[in-house]
Amino acid sequence: MNKKKSFSYDKKVVNKPWGKEHDVYKNSDKLTETLIKIDYNKSTSLHCHPTKKTGFIVLSGKALIQLGLWKSSSKIYSAPSKLMIRTGLFHSIKAKSKKGLCALEFETPGNKKDLVRYKDSYGREKKPYEGKKFTSLISKNDVFFKKTKKKIIQKYVFDNKVELSMETHKNFKLLNKEKMQTIFAVLEGKIVDRFNRSVLSYGDIIKTGTFKKLSEVFKIKNNLTLLKVKKL
CATH number (domain holding residue 210): 2.60.120
- Residue 2 belongs to some domain of the structure: no
Tell whether 110 and 209 lie within a shared domain: no
Q: Model confidence at 65, in pLDDT bands (50, 70, 90)?
A: very high
- Closest CA relative to residue 49, chosen from 92, 103, 81, 95: 92
Tell whether 127 and 71 lie within a shared domain: yes
Rounded to an integer, what distance in angstroms lies between the CA atom of residue 54 and that of residue 61?
A: 20
Last residue of a domain, one of 93, 110, 137: 137
Residue 81: predicted pLDDT: 96
Tell whether 32 and 128 lie within a shared domain: yes
Helix, strand or coil, per DSSP, at residue 214: helix
Maximum CA pair distance of the chain? 57
Tell whether 116 and 204 lie within a shared domain: no
Alpha-carbon torsion angle 95, 97, 99, 104, nearest 10 = -50
Tell whether 112 and 208 lie within a shared domain: no
Tell whether 133 and 159 lie within a shared domain: no
Rounded to an integer, what distance in angstroms lies between the CA atom of residue 14 and that of residue 29?
A: 19
Residue range 40-58, pLDDT digits in tens: 999 999 999 999 999 999 9
- Residue 159 belongs to some domain of the structure: yes
Is 89 buried (19+), middle (13-18) or exposed (0-12) by CB count in 10 A?
Answer: middle
Number of domains observed in the structure of the chain: 2
Q: Model confidence at 160, in pLDDT bands (50, 70, 90)?
A: confident
Residue 38 has pLDDT above 70, yes or no: yes
Q: What is the mean pLDDT of residues 1-19?
A: 83
Rounded to an integer, what is the distance from CA 52 to the centroid of its chain?
Answer: 12
Tell whether 19 and 108 lie within a shared domain: yes
Tell whether 181 and 70 lie within a shared domain: no
What are the residues whose beta carbons fall under 8 Å from the beta carbon of 228, sequence distance 6 or more? 163, 164, 165, 166, 167, 178, 182, 183, 184
Q: 182 near 176, Cβ under 8 Å?
A: no
Q: Computed over its alpha carbons, how large is the radius of gyration of the chain?
A: 18
- Residue 149 belongs to some domain of the structure: no
How many C-beta atoms surround the C-beta of residue 113 within 10 A?
9
Last residue of a domain, one of 109, 137, 165: 137
pTM of this structure: 0.93
How many C-beta atoms surround the C-beta of residue 135 within 10 A?
18
Comparing 5 with 35, which gets the higher pLDDT? 35
Tell whether 159 and 127 lie within a shared domain: no
Residue range 164-180, pLDDT digits in tens: 999 999 999 999 999 99
Residue 2 has pLDDT above 60, yes or no: no
Q: What's the Cα-to-Cα distance from 200 to each of 45, 99, 213, 225, rounded to whole Å?
A: 29, 35, 12, 12
User: CB-side exposure of 164: number of CA atoms within 13 Å?
Assistant: 23
Last residue of a domain, one of 137, 169, 203: 137
DSSP state of 107: E
CATH number of the domain bearing residue 52: 2.60.120.10
Residue range of the domain that includes 189: 154-231
Instruction: Calculate the average pLDDT of the chain.
Output: 94
Tell whether 132 and 166 lie within a shared domain: no
